[in-house]
Structure 1
Amino acid sequence: MDELSEVADAVADPVRREILLMLRHAPLTVGEIAARFPISRPAVSRHLRVLRESGLVRDEQIGRHRSYSLVPARLGHLAAWLARFDDRQPDWAQRLAALETEVHRTRRERSQAEPADTHTQKDTA
């Protein structure tokens, strides 16, 4: 299975999407996550395993507790793929390139105009 399909499958479940939203602010333990759901702790652990195997979260053993944190980079490919369907989304790369071109053009025009302005000021003085 390719990376995009793996991530899409993992976020297809509403419980897993809610877990990802929880983890975007800070790492949480299984107990902290499970306390926010009406499902059992083993069910939450299974959801976390799917998220971990898809690379969307990472876990770290801290003493007797396992802490989970979000790996936002894995969502980037899915977000980019989905963005292609949103016509309202501006193409920021293209807009920034156009802005850069305009800045360089303006600087070039100003630098070409400065010697003439300086010369004109000396003649009028």
Structure 2
Amino acid sequence: MTRNARPLTRQTQIAHATETHPTASSLVDARTIITLSGFAPPTLHAMGIRVATSFSARQFNLLITNAPGAQKQMYIAGTKLLETYSVPPLLHNQALAIGVTSYNGTLYFGINADRDAMSDVDMLPSLMREALDELLEAAR
């Protein structure tokens, strides 16, 4: 298997697992969310957190929430907004929570982890960057 095939294989496996999951038919895609007026990324992240808190802590120990943000330059009180990160709270018995937000053509990842459960969490951002770079390279 070539180096470029590995990220594509992972992506295919993730897509298949997501599409065949019993709840897949009830999911809403990002394009649909973007078209909803009046919804801002913090609102969407908050909705994800509310859903996550309604589950028993034994069902999962990882939360990943994503919400599309504004895709143009934004200003707050006349000051240019450079970046935006969502950092979801860690719920009871969770090891890791990742909030993904897009803004002005860039993805931002907010990471919150229980250091007792994940003492090497500081490695996660560079591993995520490596995996995304592999996907970009494979797409060329």
TM-score, length of structure 2 as denominator length: 0.25
Whose radius of gyration is greater, 1 or 2?
1
Per residue, is there more helix in 1 or in 2? 1
